[in-house]
Chain A
C-alpha cells in the first residue's frame, strides 16, 4: 500500500473509467474503508455520482464492501491489486486465443466486458452479435461447447453469491464452488430468434478466473526459461513435470510433492513421435535439468526409478534475481552489475573485498557501490568491533542483498514508471484531442462515402481536409501512444514476476 501504488491505481482508474471514478477510487485508497456518506463529504462529489462510481467499482470487482456496525449501510474498500489487473486483460485474451481459438476469445472478451454474466445471456449476446459474420462462422452450439470446456479447465468460474443475513440490508458475497453446467440449447436458440431474453431463467453468474490465467503465465515462464537455458526438449520435459505437478499438489505450492520419474518416462514415450530425442535421452535430460536447471527441479529420492520435485517457489526467486540483474545492468551499467553479482555470490562482503574482487578502479568501484546503495539495490550492515588498542573504534561495513526488499524496491520502480507512462499518454491524448477527433470524423465520412459509392474525386476532397503537417503530427502521436501502450504491457509482465515471487515468502 505505497504512495506509488496509490498514484498508479488512480491513473489506471482515470484511463479506464474517467475522472469521477478516479476521484472516488483514490479517496477510498487513501482512507481505507468508509461508507457513502463519508465519501461524499471528503471527495466533494454529489451523492448520485458517488453511487454511480461505486456501482462501477463493485461491478468490475475493483472494490469490496462489508456491513458497518449498524447493518444498514456498507463500508466500501478499494482492491488495488484488481485495479492493476485491468492492464493485464489483453494478455488474458491473447492466452485464451492462442490456446483455445477465437470462440474462446469472444467468450472471455464478452465476460471481461460484462464482469459477471449468466451463461445463457453470454451465449445469446455473442451469437447475436456475430450472426451475420459468415467468415467467423460462430454458432451458438460451438459457443456452448467452448463455454463448457473453459469452465472445465477453470478459466471461467462461478461468481460469488450474495447472502443476506437476518435483519441486515447489506448482503455478503460468499464464494461458491464451480459446478460444470448443463446448458440446454433449445431455449437459447429460441431467445435468439425472438430477441426476447426475459424468458431465460438463469441465475447462475459467471466470471473470469484470473488465477487460472496466472498459473498459465507461470508455467510458460518456467518452460521458456528452461528452453532458453538448455533446449526445447528440456522445455517439453518441464511441461510434463508441471502437468504431473497439477495432479498431485496444490497449484500454487512452492514445492510439489514427489513426482515419479517412471510416470514421466511413460509420458515421454507417449510423445515419442514428436520428440524422439527426448524419449531416447530422458534420463540424461533429467540429470541436466537437475544439475543445470537453475534449481527448478530437484531429485529427492531414488525409489521407484527416482523421485522428483518441482520448485516453482525457487524458480520465482531465480527469475526475479535475473530480472534484477537485468535492471541493474540497464540502469547503472555492466560494471555495477558485476558488483551486484559479486555481492550476491559472497552474501556478505566488506567494501575492501569488493574492490579487490570486482577488478575495477578503486574510485569507480566505490562510486558504483554507493550508487547501488542509493538506489536500494544493496543494503549495508555495520558491525562494530570492540575498541581496539589504537583508540579508534573501527566498524566493518558488510554489504549484502536483501532480496525481498530489493524486489519491493523494483516493484515500486515499476509502479512509478507505469504511472509516468499513463500520465504521459493521457497528456499526449489531451494535447492532440482535437486533431484525433478530426481524423476520426474524416475517416467515418470517407467510409460512408465509399459505401455509397461516391466518385473518387469527392472522397479525395474530403481526405484533403487533413493537411500534410496535420497528418505528420497525427502519425507521430499514434506512434508515441503505441510505444507507451506497449511499455504498459511490458511493465505489467515485470509486475507479474514480482507478484509471483511475493506469493512464496522466504522461510
Chain B
C-alpha cells in the first residue's frame, strides 16, 4: 500500500526530492543536459608517474626484444603461404629464398608428447602405405599364404581335399577386404569432420543411476 501511496504523489522522477537532497543535489543545482557525446580521447586528469629506467630495465628490454626476434625467426611463428599477385619483381627471388628457408623447417617438438594428429605427416604415410598394399601383387600373394596357413592351423583335423576351393574363397574374401580397405580409407580421409564418429546417444542409459538410488528414501 505504501508504494501506491507514493505513486500518487504525482512525480514521475525516479528519486524523490528528499532523496535527491540526500545525494547532495539542491534545487537549482541541476546541471544543463549534455547533448554531445563525450570526447573520444578525454584529457587525462592525472599525469602518470614516470617509468623507472635503470640498467636492469634496459637489460630486460634488450632480452625481451631478442626473445621476440628469435620467435619471429623460428618456425613457431606461423605464417600463411604468401600468394604472389602475378607480377614478377626483381626482389621476388630473395623473398622466395628467405621464405623457402623458413617454410621447410618444422617446429622442433618432442613428438612423443603430442597427439598423433599433430605429428608431421603421420596421416599421409598411413594412407600411402595402404595404397601400395592394394597394388602390390607380392603382398597379396603373401597375405594369401598367411591366411592359408592360419586356416590350416585352425582346423588341422579337417581334410585338405577342398584346398583349391578354399584358395578361391580366400581370394574372394581378400578382394572383399580390399574394398573394405578402400572404404576405410575414405572414412579416414574426412576425419576433419565429426560425421564419421558415432556420437549418437539413444538415451537408454539416461537415468540408469537414478534407478539404483530410488530404492527408498533415507531417513
| A interface residue numbers (CB < 8 A to B) | 15-18, 20-21, 35-37, 40, 47, 49, 51-56, 58-60, 65, 67, 70, 73-74, 89-91, 93-94, 97, 109, 112-114, 116, 159-162, 169-171, 173, 205, 330-333, 362-363, 366-367, 387, 392-393, 482-483, 485-487, 489-490
Contacts and interface: CB of A to CB of B under 8 A. Distances in A.
A89 B67 contact: yes
A20 B71 contact: no
A21 B194 CA distance: 23
B135 interface: no
Contacts of B70: 113
A74 B46 contact: no
B64 A330 contact: no
Most buried by A among B65, B109, B198: B109
A494 to B, nearest CB: 13
Contacts of B24: 362-363, 366-367
Contacts, number: 136
Interface string B51-91: 11100110111011101101110111111100000000000
B77 A331 contact: no
Nearest to B66: A109
Contacts of A490: 51-52
Contact of B112 (A93, A171, A332, A482): A171
Contact of A486 (B57, B79, B110, B192): B57
A366 B23 CA distance: 8
Contact of A169 (B59, B64, B116): B116
Nearest to A363: B24
Contacts of A51: 117-118
B115 interface: yes
B67 A489 contact: no
A162 B118 contact: no
Contact of B71 (A16, A160, A170, A489): A16
B197 interface: yes
Contact of B79 (A18, A161, A170, A333): A18
B48 A330 contact: yes
B20 interface: no
A17 B76 contact: yes
A21 B78 contact: yes
B97 interface: no
A112 B67 contact: yes
Nearest to B62: A90
Nearest to A73: B117
Contact of B107 (A47, A59, A393): A59
Contacts of A67: 115
A486 B52 contact: yes
B114 to A, nearest CB: 6
A162 to B, nearest CB: 5
A114 B191 CA distance: 31
A56 B117 contact: no
A169 B53 CA distance: 51
A485 B67 contact: no
Contacts of A17: 71, 76-78
A58 B23 contact: no
Contacts of B2: 387, 393
Given A52-B107, A56-B107, A483-B51, A18 B78 contact: yes
B137 interface: no
Contacts of A70: 197-198
Ordered nearest first, which 8 A-B pairs have the shortest CB separation? A90-B60, A74-B115, A20-B78, A56-B76, A90-B63, A169-B116, A90-B64, A162-B113
Contact of A171 (B23, B77, B113): B113
A12 B173 CA distance: 58
Contacts of A91: 60
Contact of A37 (B53, B65, B79, B193): B193
A159 to B, nearest CB: 8
B197 to A, nearest CB: 6
19 contacts: A15-B68, A18-B79, A49-B78, A56-B78, A65-B115, A73-B191, A74-B117, A94-B56, A113-B74, A116-B110, A169-B117, A170-B116, A332-B46, A485-B61, A485-B65, A486-B51, A489-B64, A490-B51, A490-B52
